[in-house]
Structure 1
């Protein structure tokens, strides 16, 4: 049985302040909960139906606390319109970032990404393309927001997310000969640009692009051209869609 206090606590994890204070985040949905259990991240609480626990052979060792509960109890605790059979409360990991982790790798940097769905989708894109580090500006949306977790579809357990000063990072990267790319309307056509298999790709805010201070640090400016005829096309691409296109082109060059 899921007590009223536990239901209230689970609901409170919608707030960043609570997540930061408690050091945990919320995971919902059968697939993502199973990813959490298999990830090695400490699971503090697993609340699930009897059929979910039985069908997935999950025992009391799957989490520090396992609570078998009814669909009604899960519905009360859930933040989804259509809850599934399982909810997990997972400890927030501590990731340390070093220059050595970025050297010889291709990483993503996100400048002031505000939409949780966009961030979650970008984390999923990073996972698909084998990108292990996603570097976020400190004013970007929290990666442990429940909507980010849902959109990442389990990729949050395989991709390391860091919040830091991106302008400082860009300086340090270029001092160590690691190229920094950024997407700009005035940038060079990505399909004809010389792209390095190693470096950092900066993607900007949904409405304003890359901030002026950071833009001034970026030497390699690239652009995804439109193939629409005349002025009939869209003005811009969604940032997650643009990220997928850019990652595909960078990775295609090294296959």
Structure 2
């Protein structure tokens, strides 16, 4: 049975202040909860229907608090419009940051991404294109926001997220010889620009793009050209990220 206090606690995880204090976040949906159980992260509490528990008992750690709940109880606790059969409270991973993890590989840097859906989609894209590390400015939306978690479709369990002083880290990376690419409207055509198999790709804010401070550290400005005579002025940042990552990876084939 799912108590009123537990329901209240689950719903409180919608707030960043509570997540930061508890060092925990909420995962909802059968597939997402299954991925959480199979990941290296610690699932503190699993609330699920009898059928879900019966089907997934083998992957539930003995250290996890298991609460058998009805569909109606899960609906009352859920933050989703269409709840499924399970939700879980997961401990935040403790991930330190060392500039060395960016050497000899392609990484992403996000400068003030505000929309949770965009961030979740970008995390999913990073997972798809084999990006293991995403470094975020401190004002980028929290990656443990429930909407980010849902949009990531499980990729949050495989991609390491780092919230850091972005200009400082990019400055260190530049001094270490790591190439820094950035998406700009005035950049060079990405399909003609030389691209390396390693480096940092910076994507900017939805409305304002890459900030002046971060932009000053970009060594190679790239642009996705439009093939329409008349059309949209720009692309959604998650769409632009997909195109850029695809072109970087295509050059490796």
Q: 2:246 aligns with which of 242, 245, 248?
A: 248
The alignment partner of 1:100 has SS state of helix
The alignment partner of 1:150 has SS state of helix
Task: State the Cα distance separating 1:29 from its structure 2 match.
Answer: 0.3
In 2, the alpha carbon distance for the partners of 1:5 and 1:60 equals: 23
Establish whether residue 159 from structure 1 lines up as the match of residue 159 from structure 2. yes
Alignment check: 8 A CA contact 1:182 1:201 kept: yes
Task: Detail structure 1 runs of 4+ shifted over 6 Å in the superposition.
Answer: none
- Name the TM-score, length of structure 2 as normaliser: 0.98
In 1, the alpha carbon distance for the partners of 2:211 and 2:62 equals: 44
In 1, the alpha carbon distance for the partners of 2:143 and 2:36 equals: 15
- Name the TM-score, length of structure 1 as normaliser: 0.97
The corresponding residue for 2:91 is: 91
Q: CA 1:49–1:105 in structure 2 vs 1: closer, same or farther (change >3 Å)?
A: same
Cα deviation per residue 1:180-229 (whole Å; 9 max; x = unaligned)?
Answer: 00011110000000001100000000000001111111121000000002
In 2, the alpha carbon distance for the partners of 1:16 and 1:219 equals: 34
Alignment check: 8 A CA contact 1:28 1:88 kept: yes
Task: State the Cα distance separating 1:63 from its structure 2 match.
Answer: 5.0
Cα deviation per residue 1:99-133 (whole Å; 9 max; x = unaligned)?
Answer: 22100010000000000000000000000000000
The corresponding residue for 1:168 is: 168
In 1, the alpha carbon distance for the partners of 2:112 and 2:100 equals: 25
In 1, the alpha carbon distance for the partners of 2:227 and 2:169 equals: 34
Task: State the Cα distance separating 1:61 from its structure 2 match.
Answer: 3.0
Please provide the CA RMSD for this pair: 1.0
The alignment partner of 1:201 has SS state of strand
Task: State the Cα distance separating 1:165 from its structure 2 match.
Answer: 1.2
What residue ranges of structure 1 are gaps of 5+ in the alignment?
none
Q: CA 1:2–1:102 in structure 2 vs 1: closer, same or farther (change >3 Å)?
A: same
The alignment partner of 2:186 has SS state of strand
What residue ranges of structure 2 are gaps of 5+ in the alignment?
none
The more displaced of 16-25 and 212-221 is: 212-221
The corresponding residue for 1:48 is: 48
Alignment check: 8 A CA contact 2:107 2:131 kept: yes
